[in-house]
Amino acid sequence: MTNVSTPVSFGHPEILPATMEEMPIIANLFEMYAHDFSEFHAVEPGPDGRFGYPDLPLYWSEPGRCPFLIRVGGKLAGFVLVHRISSGNNAAWDMAEFFVLRGYRRRGVGREAAHWVWRQFPGPWQVRVMRANQTAHGFWQRAIAEFAGDAMSLTSVEKAGELWDVFSFASSA
């Protein structure tokens, strides 16, 4: 008898607008996100041992910012922070922060969540990915290509000595 591991099916994710009362949940999840990100980006915890995210309260007070929680089977699976940005006459939606707990990765949860978010906010989009984060880079390239097909463009920018790739595409809802 062989021991064969069967992949666990989680079902479809629910992406729900986060209420102000749920801000501490996103703040707690953000700590894990920042910890993962610290492998590629120079972020360090403060004296209290927390990374923190000073802009988080803005997602409940500024127009054009939208916080979401990702749940699967009623359990927390991650969060999404969407931000409307503008430069001159151009405006686009930005995937400001996106995090899926490790136990839900590589099971379609992130892809489904991203596609859901893009359908909710039609128009131009950008997703910024640190080039050093090859796993995230591959995820976003696949998720966006599946959503937008060939209508995706990629540009590179340098910010504070680090290379970032910016995926641009449009959502028609």
Catalogue all structural domains in the chain, each as residue range(s) with its CATH number.
13-171 (3.40.630.30)
Local confidence band at 72 (pLDDT 50, 70, 90 cut-offs) = very high
Buried b (16+ CB within 10 A) or exposed e, 81-100: bbbbeeeeeeebbbbbbbbb
pLDDT at 159 (0 to 100)? 85
Could you give the CA distance from residue 14 to residue 76 in angstroms, rounded to a whole number?
10
Q: What percent of the chain has pLDDT over 70?
A: 88
Strand, coil or helix: 165: strand
Local confidence band at 4 (pLDDT 50, 70, 90 cut-offs) = very low
Q: Shortest CA distance to 14 belongs to which of 75, 60, 67? A: 75
Tokens standing for 29?
């999840």
What does the mean pLDDT of the chain come to? 87
| Phi, psi dihedrals of residue 164, rounded to the nearest 5° | -125, 140
